[in-house]
Amino acid sequence: MAQVLEFKLPDLGEGLTEAEIVRWLVSVGDVVAVDQPVVEVETAKAMVEVPCPYGGVVTARFGEEGSELPVGAPLLTVAVGASEPADSPPTTAAPAPAPAPAPAAATSASARHETSGNVLVGYGTGAPAARRRRVRRAPLGGSVAPAPAREPVNGAAGAVPVVSPLVRRLAREHGLDLRELTGSGRDGLILRCDVEQAINRGATQEPSTVPAPAPVPASAPAPAPAGGPAMSPTPVGASASARPGVTRVPLRGVRGAVADKLTRSRHDIPDATCWVDADATELMAARTAMNAAGGAKISLLALMARICTAALARHPELNSTVDMAAREIVRLPEVHLGFAAQTDRGLVVPVVRDAHARSAESLSAEFARLTEAGRAGTLTPGELTGGTFTLNNYGVFGVDGSTPIINHPEAAMLGIGRIVPKPWVHEGELAVRQVVQLSLTFDHRVCDGGTAGGFLRYVADCVEQPAVLLRTL
């Protein structure tokens, strides 16, 4: 007899609590092998193919493509030891309560050999079988057991089923009583979209503080507004989204993570920006000579990274973070250099670990590897977190300057504009030189303008005269 095992959405690491189902790779009734990818999900960090630790027949899937599931929610159930697909399996089922632990002898040999010990972050399949949750398939035409409520909100009126702690916090921040909401999830589960819709309804139905006008008799003419023609009345509190042609785009996945992080940065960090134009002619010539000598090609971003790490060694205040709870500036010994990369999925910031200890060739190779992984959507959460300073090369978009938002919780970001021929006074003569604008946005809590200006001036000096960098290595 087949043993039905439930596979839950595993912990994807780095504090991620939910993921969106992008594409199912298997259907109900399919036979899956151990560690075969069964679903593609998108987290706030990256796109991930989730492998199933069990081999057998898929008996149920949970969640439609485009829906979000919290970590620990059921993904699918697999009949381990089944020789063929079950007849007409249900496409959606709810897990039944786990039975009492079975004796170790009750676990069949086939079940033991049809599971994997491979793990994702924080998730293991090598736990004893008695601790795994078994799911009974519902009989054809019968009902299924109700799904257990997740993340209850306790109150005088009892528990409210909420899909995740993030939803509960969102409701609390906007003063919503979850007991007054009707969840659109399975068995009335309150999802994030339910709370967001309630927030929007509250915004559009907010009563006006303007007193209502006195009623006008039917025989009296309507007064014309002074100073202009009559205007069509606009309903008080009318929602912009009610107009034809308005599109609402959910802030979730990478876009949602970017929105949350940038909002937090603007809210928490008192930033300031300084900038300078620099003559990059000598730097471009040095790069050309290095690449002409043979060997691996050196990118301009790698050279800027070498300059940046040297500048941070002279001004360590900018390689830090602020701990407001302890009221301390935490200076960091290593430089983990993030760089902004635009992909089809949005802006991501991969991190080059220990950039201060890498050569220009090593930096070039790592930048290329992480950029390709970002475009393919295969960056891991660990490759997208832990940065201490960020480079932002917005010159690739054909613009000269910018005032970027700091990548929270870092303390600074260096922006690089496009390098273009411009008139420039060189050695007392007017000449056409390759000019770049550099900007530094910094957390004013970690340093004053003198330190930020000194950092940026050193970077500009190295760009204009690469020999300056050699003297400080």
Structure tokens at 466: 């690469």
DSSP characters for 51-112?
EESB-EEEEEE-S-TT-EEETTSEEEEEEET-SSPPSS--S---PPPPPPPPPGGGS-HHHH
H/E element, 314: helix 300-314
Q: Hunting for tokens 């078994």 — which residue is that? A: 134
Among this protein's residues, is 356 annotated catalytic?
A: no
Residue 6 φ then ψ, to 5°: -100, 130
3-state SS class at 41: strand
From 113, 174, 426, 444, the catalytic residue: 444
In DSSP terms, 5 is beta-bridged to 78, 134
Single-letter amino acid code for the residue at 448: D
* Residues 440, 441, 446: CA angle, nearest 5 degrees: 110
Is it true that the peptide bond before 409 is cis, omega within 30 degrees of 0? Answer: yes
User: How many CA atoms lie within 13 Å of 231's alpha carbon, on the beta-carbon side?
Assistant: 7
Burial of 49 (0-12, 13-18, 19+ CB in 10 A): middle
User: How many CA atoms lie within 13 Å of 182's alpha carbon, on the beta-carbon side?
Assistant: 0
CA distances from 43 to 68, 105, 351, 374, 429 (A): 9, 39, 18, 14, 55
Cβ(263)–Cβ(449) under 8 Å?
A: no
Residue 324 φ then ψ, to 5°: -70, -25
H/E element, 435: strand 429-443
Active site residues: 444
